[in-house]
Structure 1
Amino acid sequence: MPFERVVTTNFDFLLEQGYARISKYCIPIISEEQLAVGDSQAGVRLLKLHGDLHHPNRLVVTEEDYDAFLTSFPLLATHLSSLLIDHTALFIGYSLDDPDFRQIWQVAKERLGALRRPAYVLQVGAAPHTVARYERRGVKVINLPKTSTRSYGEILEIVFRELLEYWSSKVISLSTATEPESQAELTLPSSAQSRLAFFSVPTRYAAVYKSRIYPVAERYGFSPIMAADVVAPGDNIMAKVYALIERSAVVVADISSPNTMLEVGMVLSKEGMAKPIILIAEDQASIPFDIAKHLVIRKPQSMDDESPGFIKLIESAFAEAFSRISPALEDEPSRLVAKKEYRAAVIAAFSLLEYELRQFFESSSLEAFSARSSLIMLLQCH
């Protein structure tokens, strides 16, 4: 799940190990001093309220520790209160009898009062009286049906997958891209083959990629997009990036920053992910991923340098990627019409038309043609 903030009262390192297994960077926050570090670091911020086993002096274990938590760690309590003002809490693995749950909710009650947002808790087969007790405390119960054929963990896994699919679809439907071609691709149903090429690049290189690499992607039939093209203030950036990765036909990642390393980890963590990944790395830089199945292109020392060899490799990579999706794109309008997805079928047909026009004008060397020409401009060329 693309949560950007996670709060736990566990002492162990299961969450950190879990994030490491899917190459997702996790920033554990144990001490109040760490709160002074801003959100500039990419990754999941994991607030460990009761410390962990690497910091025995910080553990909250005994009844006395629990009672003294608010006075011993006032900044952590204030930070938690701030999170509960800005975010909706989803409790997982807690019960009303759990002292951790009661303590966290007491902090919210004492610090926020009427400002406290509604919260939710996942329960499996909760009895009616348990549901009523939660709701008296302002916590809405998501009561999952208990079955004899599935374990508690299996039930939660199914729910998380469904939530992720729903979240990603809603994030995309509410997104507005800066380019009309990308926006058209975002309006396609999730089952449709898209032409999106998701670019995960450091901010300092964004302008160079847009001026030099975007035209290459468009020439080979793709619609390039970055997270910055669709992210608005207040958005969950991680969720939008995940949704764009999910929807894209190819991923291009310049892995020279922590942010892009995080996003590549999100790509590689997807089970059964078969889409092409083009990794662009600095010369001699080590790559902390299993990239046997993916193309790695070494970039020049300066992205502003004229490097025909680098551009040639990029062109070859996009040509290969488009050849993999081309058969599906050609059949897509007919398939969507058969499913009565008429609006999507029209968009898919125009995407094909745009690609064919680009190929025609590219080969004819028409002066009016530009690699960044829109479909309307292409239709006006003669």
Structure 2
Amino acid sequence: MLHKSIFELDVRTTISLNFDSIYDKYATGLTEGTFIVKKYDDSDIRQVVAGPDRYLIKMHGSMDAPSRMIFTAKDYANARTKHREFYEVVQSLLHTHTCLLIGCGLSDPDVRLLFEDYRHALNESPHYQTMPKPVPHEVSTFIRDTRGINILAYSLRDSHKELNESIAALAVLASERRDMIVDRRNW
């Protein structure tokens, strides 16, 4: 299951574009409620950067508050104006972390603008996005050059088996790397 593999990456901050609460419930259930869910309009959203906990950011809101979901072009524009703190938090995460986008389309206006601003401010490409094959070379070059995102293509065969296995393997490598950092006291 992809949710298990994502959870096992053990990252401090996860951002979801989904309105549902499938991953929220999965992660909070495994952590006995210590996994904190934040929405773009939470007044204490800056805690995500400053706090010591594990966070899930609901970038476009949640089904539990339909009137506050970001869905239309007008909603996106209003959110960028009224919830600047949220966008500042995401920008700071882009500047200080390597992001892996899983299951995110290329057309989301927030993702596009945030990554385009990042790319043109720093002229770097340290972020990654999974996409099903085939991904034309022109598309992957365009995304890298305009958004600083490197495309990781995978096969759709067997219900995204290659993606799930790749994320699970990455989780193992991340765990091994954390163990090595601890052993060497190199934090």
After TM superposition, the score normalised by the length of structure 2 is 0.78
CA shift at 1:92, angstroms?
A: 0.9
- Give the counterpart of 1:48 among 20, 42, 58: 58
> Quick one: distance in 2 between partners of 1:97 and 1:36?
26
User: RMSD of the TM alignment (CA)?
Assistant: 2.5
2:164 matches 1:157: yes
Number of matched residues?
173
Q: 1:131 aligns with which of 128, 131, 140?
A: 140
Q: Distance in 2 between matches of 1:162 and 1:155?
A: 10
Check 1:99–1:28 CA distance in 2 against 1; reply closer, same or farther (3 A cut). Answer: same
CA separation of 1:15 and 1:171: change in aligned 2, threshold 3 A? same
How far is 1:80 from its partner? Answer: 0.8
Q: Tell me if structure 1 keeps the 8 A contact 2:125–2:149.
A: no
Q: Provide the rounded CA distance (Å) in 1 between the counterparts of 2:149 and 2:129.
A: 7
Does the CA-based 8 Å contact 1:120-1:141 persist in structure 2? Answer: yes
The residue correspondences of 1:1-382 to structure 2 (distance < 5 A) are 1-23=9-31, 25-30=34-39, 31-37=41-47, 38-40=50-52, 42=53, 44-106=54-116, 108=118, 113-114=121-122, 118-125=126-133, 126-137=135-146, 138-144=148-154, 146=155, 148=157, 150-152=158-160, 154-176=161-183, 230=185, 232=187
Do the aligned residues in 2 keep the contact of 1:50 with 1:60 (CA within 8 Å)? yes
What is the CA-CA distance between 1:102 and the residue it aligns to? 1.6
Q: Comparing both chains, which one has the higher relative contact order based on Cα–Cα distances under 8 Å and sequence gaps of 6 or more?
A: 2
Partner Cα distance (1:32, 1:107) in 2 = 23
Displacement after TM superposition at 1:87 (Å): 0.7
Going from structure 1 to structure 2, the CA distance change for 1:12 and 1:155 (only over 3 Å counts) comes to: same
Residues 93 and 85 of structure 1: CA distance in aligned 2, closer, same or farther (over 3 Å):
same
Could you tell me how far apart the structure 2 residues matched to 1:174 and 1:159 are?
22
- CA deviations 1:294-324 (Å, max 9, x no partner) are xxxxxxxxxxxxxxxxxxxxxxxxxxxxxxx
CA distance in 1, matches of 2:86, 2:111: 16
Larger of the two Rg values belongs to structure: 1
Report percent identity of matched pairs. Answer: 20
What amino acid sits opposite 1:165 in the alignment? V
AA at the equivalent of 1:157: N
Gaps of 5+ in 2: 1-8
**CA–CA distance in structure 1, aligned partners of residues 82 and 117 of structure 2:** 13
- Could you list the runs of 5+ residues in structure 1 that have no partner in the other structure? 178-229, 233-382
CA displacement 1:254-307 (0-9 Å, x = unmatched): xxxxxxxxxxxxxxxxxxxxxxxxxxxxxxxxxxxxxxxxxxxxxxxxxxxxxx
- The Cα shift of 1:22 comes to 2.6
Q: Which runs of 4+ in 1 moved over 6 A?
A: none
